[in-house]
Protein backbone atom coordinates (compact mmCIF):
# COMPACT_ATOMS: atom_id res chain seq x y z
CA UNK A 1 0.00 0.00 0.00
CA UNK A 2 1.38 3.40 -1.03
CA UNK A 3 0.03 6.72 0.27
CA UNK A 4 1.06 10.13 -1.02
CA UNK A 5 0.62 13.14 1.27
CA UNK A 6 0.51 16.15 -1.04
CA UNK A 7 1.05 19.86 -0.51
CA UNK A 8 1.82 19.80 3.22
CA UNK A 9 4.32 22.17 4.81
CA UNK A 10 6.60 19.48 6.22
CA UNK A 11 8.95 19.89 9.17
CA UNK A 12 11.96 17.99 7.82
CA UNK A 13 15.17 17.44 9.84
CA UNK A 14 16.97 20.42 8.33
CA UNK A 15 14.22 22.64 6.91
CA UNK A 16 10.50 23.32 6.89
CA UNK A 17 9.04 23.56 3.40
CA UNK A 18 6.28 22.50 1.06
CA UNK A 19 6.79 18.81 0.32
CA UNK A 20 5.08 15.68 -0.91
CA UNK A 21 5.74 12.64 1.27
CA UNK A 22 5.35 9.11 -0.10
CA UNK A 23 4.62 6.27 2.31
CA UNK A 24 5.00 2.60 1.42
CA UNK A 25 3.67 0.13 3.96
CA UNK A 26 4.89 1.29 7.37
CA UNK A 27 7.85 3.40 6.12
CA UNK A 28 8.54 6.75 4.52
CA UNK A 29 9.63 5.80 1.00
CA UNK A 30 10.67 9.28 -0.09
CA UNK A 31 10.30 13.04 0.10
CA UNK A 32 9.16 14.70 -3.13
CA UNK A 33 8.91 11.55 -5.28
CA UNK A 34 8.95 12.04 -9.05
CA UNK A 35 5.65 13.32 -10.48
CA UNK A 36 3.47 10.39 -11.42
CA UNK A 37 4.96 7.98 -8.84
CA UNK A 38 2.44 5.19 -8.33
CA UNK A 39 0.30 5.34 -5.20
CA UNK A 40 -2.96 3.82 -3.95
CA UNK A 41 -4.19 6.74 -1.88
CA UNK A 42 -3.61 10.50 -1.93
CA UNK A 43 -4.10 12.81 1.02
CA UNK A 44 -4.45 16.47 0.08
CA UNK A 45 -2.82 18.39 2.93
CA UNK A 46 -3.12 21.89 1.52
CA UNK A 47 -3.05 24.41 4.36
CA UNK A 48 -1.75 21.86 6.89
CA UNK A 49 1.66 21.19 8.42
CA UNK A 50 3.13 17.69 8.49
CA UNK A 51 5.22 16.79 11.56
CA UNK A 52 6.72 13.55 12.85
CA UNK A 53 4.35 11.87 15.34
CA UNK A 54 4.83 12.77 18.97
CA UNK A 55 6.90 10.30 21.02
CA UNK A 56 5.56 10.65 24.56
CA UNK A 57 8.23 8.88 26.59
CA UNK A 58 6.44 9.26 29.93
CA UNK A 59 2.91 7.92 30.43
CA UNK A 60 1.09 5.80 33.03
CA UNK A 61 -1.61 3.68 31.35
CA UNK A 62 -2.56 1.46 34.34
CA UNK A 63 -2.73 -1.81 32.37
CA UNK A 64 -2.66 -4.32 33.99
CA UNK A 65 -4.04 -3.71 37.43
CA UNK A 66 -5.85 -0.38 37.53
CA UNK A 67 -7.77 -0.48 34.27
CA UNK A 68 -10.76 1.38 35.72
CA UNK A 69 -8.55 4.52 35.36
CA UNK A 70 -7.13 3.75 31.89
CA UNK A 71 -6.08 0.77 29.80
CA UNK A 72 -3.79 0.27 26.84
CA UNK A 73 -6.68 0.72 24.41
CA UNK A 74 -8.23 3.87 25.89
CA UNK A 75 -4.82 5.41 26.58
CA UNK A 76 -3.68 4.71 23.02
CA UNK A 77 -6.90 6.15 21.55
CA UNK A 78 -6.26 9.32 23.56
CA UNK A 79 -2.72 9.31 22.13
CA UNK A 80 -4.02 9.03 18.56
CA UNK A 81 -6.37 11.97 19.12
CA UNK A 82 -3.47 14.03 20.45
CA UNK A 83 -0.97 13.25 17.69
CA UNK A 84 1.05 10.87 19.88
CA UNK A 85 2.17 7.97 17.67
CA UNK A 86 4.45 6.26 20.20
CA UNK A 87 4.28 6.08 23.98
CA UNK A 88 6.71 4.69 26.53
CA UNK A 89 4.92 3.55 29.65
CA UNK A 90 6.07 3.56 33.25
CA UNK A 91 6.31 0.43 35.40
CA UNK A 92 4.07 1.31 38.38
CA UNK A 93 1.30 -0.96 37.15
CA UNK A 94 0.02 -3.96 39.13
CA UNK A 95 2.09 -6.09 39.28
CA UNK A 96 4.96 -3.60 38.87
CA UNK A 97 7.13 -4.25 35.82
CA UNK A 98 10.11 -5.67 37.70
CA UNK A 99 10.87 -8.73 35.55
CA UNK A 100 11.31 -9.55 31.87
CA UNK A 101 8.34 -11.87 32.12
CA UNK A 102 6.02 -9.12 33.38
CA UNK A 103 7.40 -6.73 30.77
CA UNK A 104 6.80 -9.25 27.98
CA UNK A 105 3.24 -9.72 29.23
CA UNK A 106 2.64 -5.96 28.94
CA UNK A 107 4.02 -6.01 25.40
CA UNK A 108 1.52 -8.78 24.61
CA UNK A 109 -1.40 -6.78 26.04
CA UNK A 110 -0.31 -3.75 24.02
CA UNK A 111 -0.04 -5.83 20.85
CA UNK A 112 -3.71 -6.69 21.19
CA UNK A 113 -4.99 -3.32 22.44
CA UNK A 114 -2.86 -0.36 21.38
CA UNK A 115 -3.64 1.64 18.24
CA UNK A 116 -0.27 3.47 18.46
CA UNK A 117 3.33 2.26 18.94
CA UNK A 118 4.50 1.32 22.41
CA UNK A 119 7.35 0.47 24.73
CA UNK A 120 7.62 -0.24 28.46
CA UNK A 121 10.22 0.64 31.07
CA UNK A 122 11.46 -1.93 33.57
CA UNK A 123 11.31 -0.92 37.25
CA UNK A 124 14.16 -1.14 39.71
CA UNK A 125 13.37 -2.73 43.05
CA UNK A 126 15.83 -3.49 45.83
CA UNK A 127 15.91 -7.12 44.69
CA UNK A 128 15.91 -7.32 40.89
CA UNK A 129 19.43 -6.29 39.86
CA UNK A 130 19.81 -9.44 37.81
CA UNK A 131 16.62 -8.72 35.85
CA UNK A 132 17.82 -5.15 35.20
CA UNK A 133 21.18 -6.40 33.93
CA UNK A 134 19.60 -8.77 31.41
CA UNK A 135 16.50 -6.80 30.40
CA UNK A 136 15.69 -6.51 26.67
CA UNK A 137 12.86 -5.01 24.58
CA UNK A 138 12.81 -1.96 26.85
CA UNK A 139 13.90 1.69 26.58
CA UNK A 140 15.42 1.71 30.03
CA UNK A 141 15.22 1.41 33.78
CA UNK A 142 12.88 3.50 35.96
CA UNK A 143 13.82 4.06 39.59
CA UNK A 144 11.47 5.64 42.10
CA UNK A 145 14.11 7.33 44.28
CA UNK A 146 11.13 8.96 45.99
CA UNK A 147 7.82 7.16 46.32
CA UNK A 148 4.82 8.19 44.25
CA UNK A 149 1.74 6.29 43.07
CA UNK A 150 2.31 2.58 43.88
CA UNK A 151 4.90 1.14 46.24
CA UNK A 152 8.06 1.15 44.13
CA UNK A 153 10.88 2.78 46.10
CA UNK A 154 14.66 2.39 46.01
CA UNK A 155 16.00 4.90 48.47
CA UNK A 156 19.06 3.27 50.06
CA UNK A 157 22.43 4.33 48.72
CA UNK A 158 23.91 0.83 48.36
CA UNK A 159 21.08 -0.35 46.11
CA UNK A 160 21.29 2.82 44.01
CA UNK A 161 25.08 2.52 43.64
CA UNK A 162 24.69 -1.09 42.52
CA UNK A 163 22.04 -0.25 39.92
CA UNK A 164 24.10 2.58 38.40
CA UNK A 165 27.31 0.50 38.55
CA UNK A 166 26.08 -2.83 37.26
CA UNK A 167 23.49 -2.09 34.58
CA UNK A 168 23.92 -0.73 31.06
CA UNK A 169 20.41 0.40 30.02
CA UNK A 170 19.74 4.15 30.27
CA UNK A 171 18.19 5.09 33.62
CA UNK A 172 15.43 7.51 34.53
CA UNK A 173 14.15 8.28 38.01
CA UNK A 174 11.42 9.92 39.99
CA UNK A 175 13.38 12.47 42.03
CA UNK A 176 11.71 13.75 45.20
CA UNK A 177 13.66 13.13 48.38
CA UNK A 178 11.74 10.68 50.53
CA UNK A 179 13.00 11.87 53.92
CA UNK A 180 12.35 15.55 53.09
CA UNK A 181 8.82 14.69 51.92
CA UNK A 182 8.14 12.68 55.10
CA UNK A 183 9.52 15.39 57.35
CA UNK A 184 7.38 18.07 55.65
CA UNK A 185 4.35 15.83 55.73
CA UNK A 186 4.68 15.15 59.46
CA UNK A 187 4.97 18.88 60.19
CA UNK A 188 1.97 19.84 58.05
CA UNK A 189 -0.17 16.94 59.26
CA UNK A 190 0.56 17.95 62.87
CA UNK A 191 -0.61 21.50 62.18
CA UNK A 192 -3.68 20.18 60.31
CA UNK A 193 -4.05 19.92 56.52
CA UNK A 194 -5.53 23.02 54.91
CA UNK A 195 -6.23 21.74 51.37
CA UNK A 196 -4.62 20.50 48.17
CA UNK A 197 -2.09 23.32 48.13
CA UNK A 198 -0.40 21.59 51.09
CA UNK A 199 0.91 19.20 48.44
CA UNK A 200 3.38 21.79 47.14
CA UNK A 201 4.56 22.54 50.70
CA UNK A 202 5.20 18.83 51.32
CA UNK A 203 6.76 18.02 47.95
CA UNK A 204 8.66 21.30 47.92
CA UNK A 205 11.64 22.75 46.04
CA UNK A 206 14.06 21.23 48.50
CA UNK A 207 12.69 17.69 47.99
CA UNK A 208 13.14 17.96 44.22
CA UNK A 209 16.60 19.53 44.45
CA UNK A 210 18.05 17.02 46.90
CA UNK A 211 16.86 13.97 44.96
CA UNK A 212 17.82 15.25 41.53
CA UNK A 213 21.27 16.23 42.81
CA UNK A 214 21.68 12.75 44.27
CA UNK A 215 20.67 11.01 41.04
CA UNK A 216 22.86 13.25 38.89
CA UNK A 217 25.80 12.56 41.19
CA UNK A 218 25.27 8.80 40.76
CA UNK A 219 25.04 9.14 36.98
CA UNK A 220 28.23 11.21 36.78
CA UNK A 221 30.31 9.01 39.05
CA UNK A 222 29.20 5.85 37.25
CA UNK A 223 29.28 7.49 33.81
CA UNK A 224 25.75 6.16 33.29
CA UNK A 225 23.22 7.73 30.92
CA UNK A 226 20.48 9.34 32.94
CA UNK A 227 17.28 11.13 31.94
CA UNK A 228 15.80 13.52 34.52
CA UNK A 229 12.02 13.32 34.22
CA UNK A 230 9.49 15.98 35.20
CA UNK A 231 11.88 18.76 36.21
CA UNK A 232 9.73 21.06 38.35
CA UNK A 233 12.11 23.69 39.76
CA UNK A 234 14.42 26.33 38.35
CA UNK A 235 17.18 25.13 40.69
CA UNK A 236 17.35 21.61 39.25
CA UNK A 237 18.23 22.91 35.79
CA UNK A 238 21.75 23.90 36.81
CA UNK A 239 22.38 20.40 38.13
CA UNK A 240 22.32 18.62 34.81
CA UNK A 241 23.19 21.22 32.19
CA UNK A 242 26.04 20.63 29.76
CA UNK A 243 27.42 17.16 30.35
CA UNK A 244 27.92 15.97 26.81
CA UNK A 245 24.85 13.80 26.43
CA UNK A 246 25.25 11.77 29.62
CA UNK A 247 22.39 13.74 31.16
CA UNK A 248 19.14 14.70 29.43
CA UNK A 249 15.96 16.14 30.90
CA UNK A 250 12.20 16.45 30.50
CA UNK A 251 9.65 19.15 31.28
CA UNK A 252 5.92 18.36 31.49
CA UNK A 253 3.06 20.63 30.38
CA UNK A 254 1.67 20.87 33.92
CA UNK A 255 5.01 22.13 35.26
CA UNK A 256 5.23 24.61 32.38
CA UNK A 257 1.67 25.92 32.60
CA UNK A 258 0.35 25.40 36.16
CA UNK A 259 1.67 26.79 39.43
CA UNK A 260 0.59 27.09 43.07
CA UNK A 261 -1.80 29.90 42.20
CA UNK A 262 -3.94 27.31 40.35
CA UNK A 263 -4.86 25.23 43.44
CA UNK A 264 -7.63 27.67 44.32
CA UNK A 265 -9.37 27.13 40.96
CA UNK A 266 -8.44 23.50 40.26
CA UNK A 267 -7.76 21.83 43.63
CA UNK A 268 -6.70 18.18 43.31
CA UNK A 269 -6.87 18.35 39.50
CA UNK A 270 -3.38 19.89 39.63
CA UNK A 271 -2.13 17.64 42.42
CA UNK A 272 0.88 15.89 40.86
CA UNK A 273 4.20 14.38 41.91
CA UNK A 274 6.50 16.25 41.72
CA UNK A 275 4.17 18.97 42.92
CA UNK A 276 3.62 22.07 40.82
CA UNK A 277 5.75 25.02 41.96
CA UNK A 278 5.79 28.78 41.24
CA UNK A 279 5.37 31.08 38.24
CA UNK A 280 9.13 31.70 38.35
CA UNK A 281 9.68 27.94 37.97
CA UNK A 282 7.26 27.82 34.99
CA UNK A 283 9.26 30.55 33.29
CA UNK A 284 12.65 28.99 34.07
CA UNK A 285 11.56 25.62 32.63
CA UNK A 286 10.34 27.23 29.41
CA UNK A 287 13.59 29.19 29.12
CA UNK A 288 15.57 25.95 29.61
CA UNK A 289 13.63 24.33 26.76
CA UNK A 290 14.31 27.30 24.52
CA UNK A 291 18.07 27.20 25.08
CA UNK A 292 18.36 23.40 25.04
CA UNK A 293 19.22 22.69 28.69
CA UNK A 294 15.99 20.65 28.77
CA UNK A 295 15.50 18.61 25.61
CA UNK A 296 12.17 16.77 25.96
CA UNK A 297 8.52 17.65 26.55
CA UNK A 298 6.49 14.65 27.74
CA UNK A 299 3.26 14.41 29.69
CA UNK A 300 3.57 12.12 32.73
CA UNK A 301 -0.07 11.30 31.81
CA UNK A 302 -1.34 9.82 35.10
CA UNK A 303 -5.11 9.32 35.08
CA UNK A 304 -7.27 8.86 38.17
CA UNK A 305 -11.07 8.95 38.21
CA UNK A 306 -12.81 12.15 39.32
CA UNK A 307 -14.33 10.22 42.20
CA UNK A 308 -10.81 9.38 43.40
CA UNK A 309 -9.54 12.91 42.78
CA UNK A 310 -12.50 14.53 44.54
CA UNK A 311 -11.44 13.18 47.92
CA UNK A 312 -10.04 15.69 50.41
CA UNK A 313 -6.28 16.12 50.74
CA UNK A 314 -4.27 13.96 51.38
CA UNK A 315 -6.59 11.12 50.30
CA UNK A 316 -6.80 12.48 46.75
CA UNK A 317 -4.29 10.66 44.49
CA UNK A 318 -1.59 12.51 42.54
CA UNK A 319 -1.71 12.58 38.76
CA UNK A 320 -3.47 14.19 35.82
CA UNK A 321 -4.22 13.12 32.22
CA UNK A 322 -2.55 14.95 29.32
CA UNK A 323 -1.71 12.84 26.24
CA UNK A 324 -4.50 14.21 24.08
CA UNK A 325 -3.73 17.84 24.88
CA UNK A 326 0.06 18.10 25.12
CA UNK A 327 0.64 18.76 21.41
CA UNK A 328 -2.15 21.40 21.17
CA UNK A 329 -0.79 23.07 24.33
CA UNK A 330 2.63 23.36 22.71
CA UNK A 331 1.24 24.35 19.27
CA UNK A 332 -0.64 27.12 21.04
CA UNK A 333 2.74 28.36 22.29
CA UNK A 334 3.82 28.51 18.64
CA UNK A 335 0.66 30.49 17.85
CA UNK A 336 1.50 32.94 20.67
CA UNK A 337 5.02 33.41 19.32
CA UNK A 338 6.72 31.87 22.36
CA UNK A 339 8.56 29.14 20.39
CA UNK A 340 8.81 27.74 16.87
CA UNK A 341 7.10 24.71 15.35
CA UNK A 342 10.56 23.21 14.78
CA UNK A 343 11.32 23.49 18.50
CA UNK A 344 8.07 21.72 19.38
CA UNK A 345 8.98 18.92 16.95
CA UNK A 346 12.43 18.65 18.49
CA UNK A 347 11.10 18.53 22.08
CA UNK A 348 8.21 16.14 21.42
CA UNK A 349 9.39 13.87 18.57
CA UNK A 350 13.06 13.93 17.69
CA UNK A 351 14.67 14.38 21.11
CA UNK A 352 12.71 11.66 22.96
CA UNK A 353 13.42 9.24 20.10
CA UNK A 354 17.16 10.03 20.35
CA UNK A 355 17.23 9.89 24.16
CA UNK A 356 15.86 6.33 24.15
CA UNK A 357 17.75 5.13 21.04
CA UNK A 358 14.54 4.46 19.14
CA UNK A 359 15.17 3.20 15.65
CA UNK A 360 13.33 4.97 12.84
CA UNK A 361 11.25 7.32 15.00
CA UNK A 362 10.90 11.07 15.43
CA UNK A 363 11.86 12.43 12.01
CA UNK A 364 10.34 12.83 8.56
CA UNK A 365 13.11 11.20 6.62
CA UNK A 366 13.42 8.50 3.96
CA UNK A 367 13.48 5.05 5.58
CA UNK A 368 11.99 6.26 8.86
CA UNK A 369 8.70 4.85 10.17
CA UNK A 370 5.62 6.53 8.73
CA UNK A 371 4.49 7.93 12.11
CA UNK A 372 3.15 11.28 11.00
CA UNK A 373 0.72 13.96 12.11
CA UNK A 374 -1.05 16.61 10.08
CA UNK A 375 -1.68 19.70 12.18
CA UNK A 376 -3.83 22.74 11.51
CA UNK A 377 -1.98 25.65 13.07
CA UNK A 378 -5.03 27.89 12.61
CA UNK A 379 -7.68 25.69 14.18
CA UNK A 380 -9.00 27.06 17.48
CA UNK A 381 -10.83 24.75 19.85
CA UNK A 382 -11.67 24.52 23.55
CA UNK A 383 -10.72 21.53 25.72
CA UNK A 384 -13.82 20.02 27.34
CA UNK A 385 -14.05 17.22 29.89
CA UNK A 386 -16.92 15.62 27.96
CA UNK A 387 -14.76 15.29 24.81
CA UNK A 388 -11.77 13.57 26.46
CA UNK A 389 -10.96 10.05 25.25
CA UNK A 390 -8.92 9.09 28.30
CA UNK A 391 -10.97 6.68 30.41
CA UNK A 392 -10.84 9.03 33.40
CA UNK A 393 -12.92 11.51 31.39
CA UNK A 394 -11.58 14.88 32.50
CA UNK A 395 -8.77 17.31 31.86
CA UNK A 396 -7.20 19.92 34.12
CA UNK A 397 -7.30 22.18 31.02
CA UNK A 398 -11.13 21.99 30.74
CA UNK A 399 -12.31 25.35 29.39
CA UNK A 400 -8.93 26.29 27.91
CA UNK A 401 -9.03 27.51 24.30
CA UNK A 402 -6.01 26.66 22.15
CA UNK A 403 -4.97 27.41 18.59
CA UNK A 404 -3.14 24.59 16.76
CA UNK A 405 -4.58 21.06 16.69
CA UNK A 406 -3.74 17.69 15.12
CA UNK A 407 -6.29 16.72 12.47
CA UNK A 408 -4.87 13.41 11.23
CA UNK A 409 -2.62 10.87 12.94
CA UNK A 410 -0.81 8.22 10.89
CA UNK A 411 0.81 5.27 12.69
CA UNK A 412 3.13 2.98 10.71
CA UNK A 413 1.55 4.17 7.48
CA UNK A 414 -2.09 3.81 8.51
CA UNK A 415 -4.45 6.64 9.45
CA UNK A 416 -5.72 5.88 12.96
CA UNK A 417 -7.38 9.23 13.63
CA UNK A 418 -8.81 11.77 11.20
CA UNK A 419 -11.32 14.55 11.82
CA UNK A 420 -12.60 13.07 15.06
CA UNK A 421 -12.88 9.47 13.85
CA UNK A 422 -10.67 6.50 14.80
CA UNK A 423 -9.59 3.32 13.05
CA UNK A 424 -9.98 1.03 16.03
CA UNK A 425 -8.98 -2.07 14.02
CA UNK A 426 -5.45 -0.76 13.60
CA UNK A 427 -2.71 -1.94 15.96
CA UNK A 428 0.53 -0.09 16.62
CA UNK A 429 3.93 -1.77 16.63
CA UNK A 430 6.41 -2.51 19.40
CA UNK A 431 9.06 0.20 19.42
CA UNK A 432 12.62 -0.95 18.72
CA UNK A 433 15.55 0.29 20.82
CA UNK A 434 19.22 0.00 19.95
CA UNK A 435 21.21 0.98 23.01
CA UNK A 436 24.50 0.59 21.18
CA UNK A 437 23.84 3.88 19.39
CA UNK A 438 25.79 5.87 21.93
CA UNK A 439 23.33 8.36 23.30
CA UNK A 440 21.38 11.46 22.60
CA UNK A 441 24.08 13.59 21.01
CA UNK A 442 25.58 10.80 18.95
CA UNK A 443 22.71 10.35 16.47
Residues recognised as catalytic = 300
Residue ranges with strand state E in 12-95: 16-24, 27-31, 41-44, 49-52, 54-59, 84-89
Nearer to Zn ion, 20 or 316 (CB): 316
Q: How far apart are CA 31 and CA 269, in angstroms?
A: 43
Over its C-alpha atoms, the chain yields an Rg (Å, rounded) of 21
Smallest gap from residue 298 Cβ to ligand DOR (A): 12
Query: Least distance from C-beta 252 to Zn ion, angstroms?
Result: 9
Between 52 and 274, name the residue whose CB sits nearer to Zn ion. Answer: 274
Minimal distance in Å, beta carbon 365 to ligand DOR? Answer: 33
Contacts (CB under 6 A) with ligand DOR, residues 353-392: none
Of 174 and 225, which CB lies nearer to ligand DOR in the complex structure? Answer: 174
Residue from 73, 81, 9 nearest 325 by CA: 81
148 contacts ligand DOR (rule: CB under 6 A): yes
Considering the complex, state which of residue 62 and residue 361 has its C-beta at the smaller distance from ligand DOR.
62
Among 86, 149, 200, 395, binds ligand DOR (CB under 6 A): 149
How many angstroms separate the Cα of 74 from the Cα of each of 80, 369, 383?
Answer: 10, 23, 18
Query: Is 29:23 a contact under the CB 8 Å cutoff?
Result: yes
Whether 96 and 386 have beta carbons less than 8 Å apart is answered as no
Length of the chain, please? 443
Q: How far is the CB of 304 from Zn ion (least distance, A)?
A: 13
Q: How far is the CB of 176 from ligand DOR (least distance, A)?
A: 9
Sole binder of ligand DOR in the list 140, 319, 413, 428 (CB under 6 A): 319
Nearer to Zn ion, 131 or 300 (CB): 300
Beta carbon nearer to Zn ion, 113 or 301: 301
Candidate list 73, 174, 196, 408; residue touching ligand DOR; CB under 6 A: 174
| Binding positions for Zn ion, rule: CB under 5 A | 300
Binding status of residue 60 toward ligand DOR by CB under 6 A? yes
318 binds ligand DOR (CB under 6 A): yes
316 binds ligand DOR per the rule CB under 6 A? no
- Assess 302 for contact with ligand DOR (CB under 6 A): yes
208 in the Ramachandran plot: left (φ > 0), alpha (ψ -120 to 50) or beta?
alpha
How far, in Å, CA of 63 to CA of 73, rounded? 9
Q: Give the nearer residue to ligand DOR in terms of CB position, either 91 or 360.
A: 91
Tell which residue, 207, 245, 204, 250, has the closest CA to residue 228: 250
- From 276, 244, 246, select the one nearest 260 (Cα to Cα): 276
* C-alpha span between 346 and 204 (Å, rounded): 30
User: Which positions ≥6 away from 155 have C-beta within 8 Å?
Assistant: 145, 146, 178
* Residue 306 CB, nearest approach to ligand DOR (Å): 14
Contact call for residue 106 and ligand DOR (CB under 6 A): no
- Sheet containing 296-297: give its strands across: 122-123, 141-144, 171-174, 226-228, 247-251, 296-297
User: What residues numbered 253-292 form the site for ligand DOR, per CB under 6 A?
Assistant: 272-273
Q: Which of ligand DOR, Zn ion, none is residue 92 near (CB under 5 to 8 Å by kind)?
A: ligand DOR
User: At closest approach, how far in Å is the CB of 154 from ligand DOR?
Assistant: 14
Task: Enumerate residues 6+ apart whose C-beta is below 8 A from 209.
Answer: 233, 235, 236, 239
Could you tell which of Zn ion, ligand DOR, none binds residue 415, using a CB distance below 5 to 8 A set by kind?
A: none
Distance (Å, whole) CA 331 – CA 378:
10
Site string for ligand DOR, 79-98 (x = CB under 6 A): -------------x------
Contacts with ligand DOR by CB under 6 A lie at: 60, 92, 148-149, 174, 272-273, 302, 318-319
Amino acid sequence: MRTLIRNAIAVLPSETRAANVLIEGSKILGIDPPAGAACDETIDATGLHLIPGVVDDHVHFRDPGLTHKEDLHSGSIACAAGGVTTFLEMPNTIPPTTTQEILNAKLDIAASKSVVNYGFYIAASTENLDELRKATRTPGIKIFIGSSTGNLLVDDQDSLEAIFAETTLPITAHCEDESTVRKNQARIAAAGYTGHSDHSRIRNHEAAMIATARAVDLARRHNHRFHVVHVSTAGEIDLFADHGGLLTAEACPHHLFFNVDDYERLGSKVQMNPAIKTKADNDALFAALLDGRIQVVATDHAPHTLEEKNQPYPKSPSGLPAVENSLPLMLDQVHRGNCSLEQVVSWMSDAPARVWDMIGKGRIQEGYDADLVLVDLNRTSTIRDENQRTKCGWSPWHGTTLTGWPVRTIVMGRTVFADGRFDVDHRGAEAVFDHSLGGYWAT
